[in-house]
Structure 1
Amino acid sequence: MYLYTGKLDLACTFLQIPIIGIALGSMGAVSTDRGALALVIFAAALLVFSFFHALRANRSAWMAMGVFPLKYTFAVALVGSGIVAVGGTLMLLQGEVKKKDMVGHVAKTAGGAFLFWHLARWTQSLIRPPASGNAIGSERRAAEVEG
C-alpha cells in the first residue's frame, strides 16, 4: 500500500518548514509581531491546502493523515542532509577543526548526511504521486483496461 501525494503538495510541505521556523523564532522574540502572525496564518493555510490535496489523492482521511508524517519526515531529512553536509564542509574549510580531530569530524558529517539521505529515500519510496494527478481517475482507467 502506498500513500499518494502530489508534487505541489510536497512543495507546500517544503515551504511550510522555513515559514513556521521563521514565524516561531520571531514570535519568541516579539510576541506581538504582526509579520510573525501573518507567517503563522500563511503556514496554517498551506497546511490546510496540503491536507485537502492529500485527502483528494488518497480518498481516505486516515490515509491522508498517514501521509503527513511521511511528507514531513521526507522534507526534514532532505533539509537536514543539506544542512549537515554544507555546515560540516564549511567548518572543515574554515579551519575551525584541529588537524587531529579532522577525520572524526569528516566521518560524523558524512555519516549524518548519509543517514538523512537514506531516511529521505526510504520515505520517498513510501510516498507515490498519483499516475495522472488524480488517484481516483487512474484507478478507474486501470479497471477499464483490465476488464
Structure 2
Amino acid sequence: MFSHTRRPLKGLVILTGILAAGATLADSTQNAPGAACVAINGASLTVRDDGEAENRTASLVTAICPAERPIGTGTTTTLSGRVFVVDQSTTSEVCCRAVSKNPLGAKVTGAWQCSTGSSANYQALDLASLSDTYTFSSFYLECQVPALSGGNASRIQMYRATQQ
C-alpha cells in the first residue's frame, strides 16, 4: 500500500522533468565548423584539415550554413548568429546574414553584416536576429566569401546559431 501511494508522486516528478526539458528546447545555441557550410549554384569551398571552409576560386562564393531548428514543445521562432571569418580580400568583404525559409518559398532574411578590411586574423560578425513563427520553416546562415586575393583565401572558420 505504501508503494501504491508513491506512484502518483513518481509520475509527477517524471512529468515535471519532461516539461522542464521541453522548456529548455526553446533556447538553443549551437556551434559548427565552417566545413558544415555548403557552397551553392555550382560553386565550391575547400575544406581545410582544421574544419574551416575557404574560397580558393577566382569568383565570389555564396555558402549556406545550416542551423538545426528544434520542433515541438518550445519551438524556436527567432534566429541570430555569430560567424567567425578570415577576410583576406583586398577588394571585397565577407558578408553574412540569418535566413528562414519555408517550403512554400517564403523567405525571411536578416540584415547583412560584413567584415572590415583585409587581415589574416579572424573577425566575428554578429548577425541581426529575424523572426519566423511558421514551424515548417528552416533556419540557416548565409555567407558570401570573396575570391582569392593575391593568392590568399578568405574563409569561414566556424559559426554559432542562436535560437529562441
TM-score by length of 2: 0.23
Q: Larger % of helix: which?
A: 1
Bigger strand share: 2
TM-score, length of structure 1 as denominator length: 0.25
